[in-house]
Amino acid sequence: MIRYDRVAVLDWSAASAPPRLAPKADAIWIGLASAAGVQTSYHPSRHLAEQTITALIAQTRQAGQSLLVGVDFALGYPTGFAPRLTGQARAAAVWRWMAAEITDGPTNANNRFAVADKINGAFGGQGPFWGHPNGQSFAHLSPRKLVDYAALGLAERRAVEHVIPRAQPVWKLFTTGSVGGQSLMGQPMIHRLHQDHGASVWPFDAPSAITLAEVYPSLLAPAVTAALGPGRIKDEVQVRLLAQALWRVGQSGDLTGLLAGPPAQTRTEEGWILGAKAEATLLAAL
């Protein structure tokens, strides 16, 4: 039976804007649940958020405890992308590639669109990624979705995105719901936490005392909507509620089933969303 002493949920951001110290929406929030309760924190840059997570891992180990960290971006791509990009049919090979290519400054300046353009170019000019801001121009990255995924030999959606249809495709880099941009900016951190800090990344690795997993806070949409009020920031509410729900599910023993759930074929390249098909279980835990 898996019971994590601490559960953290990270609401990520691909923002390029300079950090703003005052808490805001569409930035980075972390919810942390334990036997002591739930607390949330705001982080104006990816650098500061990663420092917080690495410190939390160190503190958890020092205390002889266990930690589950849920991140709200994709940890894998549809089957076939990893070997075409890296020569290896493994999500970890993509994280390593992204860590070498993505630049991300302390002021949030980053090159995610240029990296996507490079990947598309490597696919012969028409690659899977799409979307970028007005006023920018790239040789192989269109501002709109013009991709013929069947001709490209890749699926537009991962298996888990058919289970949760409202989850956006990982190739979308700009405008509302652009999880693709967040994934490009988050996977280098996953590589570092995996390689340098010994974290397991589920479902690619078996769960361990320090486990990272992909989450989808919108699984709790009814509870989030009910908890919102004047002055409340949706991102902060989401991480608080999902951290609380996952911690309570873990204490009841039901997290063991959720961590055993993904189809076998998704455990090498695509990954899975923790809690997919288990909205009712998570909502009941609140």
CATH of the domain at 29: 3.30.420
Look at residue 137 in the predicted model and tell me its pLDDT: 93
Q: 10: pLDDT confidence band, cut at 50, 70 and 90?
A: very high
- Distance from C-alpha of 139 to C-alpha of 120, rounded to nearest angstrom: 9
Could you write out the DSSP letters of every residue in 16-49?
A: -SPP-SS--SSSEEEEEEETTEEEEEEESSHHHH
* Residue 159: inside a domain: no
Per-residue pLDDT tens over the stretch 77-117? 999 999 999 999 999 999 999 999 999 999 999 999 999 99
Neighbouring-strand partners of residue 29: 11, 42
Confidence (pTM): 0.96
Per-residue pLDDT tens over the stretch 117-160? 999 999 987 899 999 999 999 999 999 999 999 999 999 999 99
* Residue 142: inside a domain: no
Look at residue 231 in the predicted model and tell me its pLDDT: 85
Q: 175: pLDDT confidence band, cut at 50, 70 and 90?
A: confident
Neighbouring-strand partners of residue 110: 104
Please state the rounded mean pLDDT for residues 173-186.
93
Task: Please state, for a pLDDT cut of 90, what percent of the chain lies above it.
Answer: 88
* Residue 110: inside a domain: no
* Residue 36: inside a domain: yes
Domain that holds residue 67: 6-74+182-284
* Residue 125: inside a domain: no
- On whether the CB atoms of residues 218 and 166 are closer than 8 A, the answer is yes
How high does pLDDT run on average in the chain?
95
Does the CA dihedral 76-77-78-79 come out positive or negative? negative
Look at residue 24 in the predicted model and tell me its pLDDT: 75
- Distance from C-alpha of 69 to C-alpha of 75, rounded to nearest angstrom: 13
* Residue 85: inside a domain: no
Look at residue 230 in the predicted model and tell me its pLDDT: 87
Look at residue 182 in the predicted model and tell me its pLDDT: 96
Greater pLDDT, 35 or 231: 35
- On whether the CB atoms of residues 177 and 168 are closer than 8 A, the answer is yes
Degrees to nearest 5, angle at CA 159 with 284 and 199: 70
Q: 247: pLDDT confidence band, cut at 50, 70 and 90?
A: very high
> How many domains is the chain partitioned into structurally?
1
Q: Amino acid letter at 226?
A: A
* Residue 80: inside a domain: no
Look at residue 18 in the predicted model and tell me its pLDDT: 84
Neighbouring-strand partners of residue 201: 212
> φ and ψ at 58, to 5 degrees?
-65, -45
Q: 196: pLDDT confidence band, cut at 50, 70 and 90?
A: very high
* Residue 124: inside a domain: no
